[in-house]
Structure 1
């Protein structure tokens, strides 16, 4: 067999059912022969975003794979890979490369070297005999430790070279997970039990480890409130009495109060990174950090105690240790539960005029509120877009089940949400998969709605169209606004989506929101891709403290 046939056969052994691409490279035909479905995108970015969403929603149990054409295809994929790297998403990238004899010849592009800074591992298949070993290493890295993209470049001569059958000896590697040092767990348990006002700060490591049940048990044992990061949102059920919601650029009143009022913060599966897309960690707190990434410990904050290992395994260790030190746990702290409920009611009351607004043009908060109260939350996966769409959605959407909400923000590329929703639908075809995006974001990636239509991926795209970049305050560029109106945007997006075969509606009145959403849900259930455009006002007020 030749090199690309060996690669395709390995992908089948790993359970890969589809592969994203923009033609052409030799692996495409080999994959099709092996029974792997190629899905062709309009541009590499959205394709990479789609396999990213697929890996996320399956928690890496089924791997998203994307192949790129030699040269411009690999060059054009850079942004999508950078986004996945920033979000620690495991995806396998298989760019074609120049024949080895052309290495170093200007202007040939060398993906292996160029992608080193935005991948967990970037390597060239430098001999055909090494293909099984390199693929084994790739899948091991994709499933171990802190996750991230892995790239294997396929030089043209290796793609065509013959691999002797006796050297094709591939077996999928086993996943290896680790527990923490028992002494570290013992010290952490003592500190947590001694704290007067502990809070749990949960990241997406909880989701990848599938540790929600253990996290809920820990919160109830300690009677400790739980907040999540943007990417960790849905890792703890937000209808739980101890749930505070997610902390992104905007957040809930509960997160604001209890994060500030805590004396100990237990980080679970998070990085404690200083970023504009997370709530700031207040000074003077004891930090206990459970992570599988040693590089995250003490990176930007002094870590008082750390536990290194898989979130699910270490949470179980911690629970056992807490029980050995404190018995059966604390009884329900009704005063705490009642206060969380009261703070939530007071915070929501402040926002109800916007969430239930009847103004025209519509308030985007009304669109989000009606959307949440119309769809079946237990059968829905939703993701937000960069910018205002994120701020409208994240604090107010109640995520009840793991991966029912796909949050992100370490990098913020416009248009990411469309591919994420498509990947979620590939992973969970029986669920309603929604992305909420602004008009500028749709402008960057909207032509891949045709990919969803053609590939029979019936997602629902909600466009918040205010013809304006609300996330950027005019004070940033007063002269540019006054002289050139740089934030003014235009376009008939429903006409574009309709021309590509999607079911579309444009909604201008608040009373029509619910009916349009219900019709859209019905259309997705019939197998149709849906684009609903809501004409809204400019809304620049966010739930920030």
Structure 2
């Protein structure tokens, strides 16, 4: 058995269902020979996003894998892995490596050397006998502790070498750990002493599959819950205690509870300050439950730290509340949260019901909410204005019914991510909403969905400009037209084999959506290009009607 076949067999035994990939790498053929499907992308960044979206959708229980060429393939994949690292996504990256005799000779590109800052763990494999042991440790790292991409670079001579004897390899089981008991009791003391506690939940709740426990904990405290953007859907957003997800957008009801809070209880979150989230105002008692000590006291002064798996931590917290006889709700604070959320929706209703031409983006979001069952749908945004317009108003009722992402916000990520989601959940409607800038980055990979029969729906907001950059490029645009974007994206999609429609009137969107749903249900990707207004208001930036 050659080294390349050793890797393929390990992947098969670990339950890998497909590899996102771009040639040349002999591992693609080795995997195909034993029934592991290759999904060949148009560019490596999108291939990484496919693997990333698959891992996110399955909470890392089924892992995404990307395979690429040594040298230029590893170079091109770098930004995709950087995105996964920023969002702590577990995926396995398998570049070929230059022969061992060429290591350390400039300008030979070493993935091991260059990926050090954007991987959870990495290894270079110089010989065939080290392949299986290295992959065994890689899968353990992928399934244990704080998530992140893992890279194993294997030298070309190791891939071609013959393994002596039989391959001995069993699938790897990860480890979980719970918090210190005294820390749990002290955290409960602090949250019960608070008058206005708020829970801030991150994607650690999703990866731990602890949403039921989070609901129980919030109800026992009658504490409103907001989530991080990657954590959106960790708490059911139709629940009366939900106050939404954080992004640049700042809806009134969410900001009210966060400003008034005297204690913020973070669960499954790194508490990272970011432009693409809602930072916690000063003066709060901070409690942080995370599975990594790296997160504690990083950006905030944390009075109480709980280090452990989110599901085990929440179970311990619930048990402590039960022992003290605490069960407050849902109660008055849930009623207040619901009233304030309804006031936000009423305030923005004219946008949802708009008949403007060019089309108002909020009208499209309202039509999607009217037509689709959110529990049977997975939806994601792309970077920029579409993210901010949808995140406050699309209510995610079940875990991973929304893929939120973005401590780094690479335009075009959503297209690959939604392909990965569809591969993970083929029976669900999978929708990506992106702007004209994002489709300009990755539009040719619509062909990837076509060739592989991945029945996604992509909705493009085409307003001919980078709306979110209007202020930043005001002089450049006035003098040189620097902010113009252009294209007929429905024609592009059709040329690549997708079903497509260009929609210019608001009443035409729902009929187009029906046709798109039919096409996607038959395994044909669908693209709806919507000619929309250039406005870029959202809660916290501009008022409805402006």
* Fold match by TM threshold 0.5: yes
| CA shift in 2, pair 1:362/1:9, >3 Å | same
Residue 453 (1) aligns with residue 450 (2): yes
Deviations along 1:27-65, whole A, 9 cap, x unmatched?
A: 111111121111111000100000000000001011100
| CA shift in 2, pair 1:300/1:331, >3 Å | closer
**Structure 1 segments unaligned to the other structure (5+ residues):** none
- Residue in 1 that maps onto 2:273: 274
How far apart, in 1, do the equivalents of 2:253 and 2:518 lie? 35
| SS of alignment partner, residue 39 of structure 1 | strand
CA contact (8 A) 2:184 2:306 kept: yes
C-alpha displacement at 1:328, in angstroms?
4.8
Give the 5 Å matches for 1:73-472.
Answer: 73-166=73-166, 168-325=167-324, 327-333=325-331, 335-472=332-469
| SS of alignment partner, residue 15 of structure 2 | coil
CA contact (8 A) 1:234 1:400 kept: yes
| SS of alignment partner, residue 527 of structure 1 | coil
Instruction: Tell me the number of residue pairs that the alignment of Structure 1 and Structure 2 aligns.
Output: 541
Residue 507 (1) aligns with residue 506 (2): no
How far apart, in 2, do the equivalents of 1:336 and 1:223 lie? 6
How far apart, in 1, do the equivalents of 2:256 and 2:329 lie? 23
How far apart, in 1, do the equivalents of 2:152 and 2:142 lie? 12
Give the alignment's TM-score, normalised by structure 1: 0.98
- Residue in 1 that maps onto 2:540: 544
C-alpha displacement at 1:9, in angstroms?
0.3
How far apart, in 1, do the equivalents of 2:210 and 2:127 lie? 40
CA contact (8 A) 1:251 1:394 kept: no
Deviations along 1:433-483, whole A, 9 cap, x unmatched?
A: 000000110011011111101101000000000011011132x23321111
CA contact (8 A) 1:245 1:251 kept: no
- Residue in 2 that maps onto 1:487: 483
Deviates more, 1:312-321 or 1:252-261: 252-261
Give the alignment's TM-score, normalised by structure 2: 0.98
CA contact (8 A) 2:48 2:81 kept: yes
C-alpha displacement at 1:116, in angstroms?
0.5
How far apart, in 2, do the equivalents of 1:479 and 1:510 lie? 32
C-alpha displacement at 1:522, in angstroms?
1.7
- Residue in 1 that maps onto 2:544: none
C-alpha displacement at 1:331, in angstroms?
4.2
How far apart, in 1, do the equivalents of 2:329 and 2:244 lie? 23
How far apart, in 1, do the equivalents of 2:329 and 2:250 lie? 29
**Structure 2 segments unaligned to the other structure (5+ residues):** 542-546
- Residue in 2 that maps onto 1:532: 528
How far apart, in 2, do the equivalents of 1:345 and 1:472 lie? 31
How far apart, in 2, do the equivalents of 1:346 and 1:17 lie? 46
How far apart, in 2, do the equivalents of 1:542 and 1:217 lie? 31
CA contact (8 A) 1:54 1:424 kept: yes
Deviates more, 1:396-405 or 1:21-30: 21-30
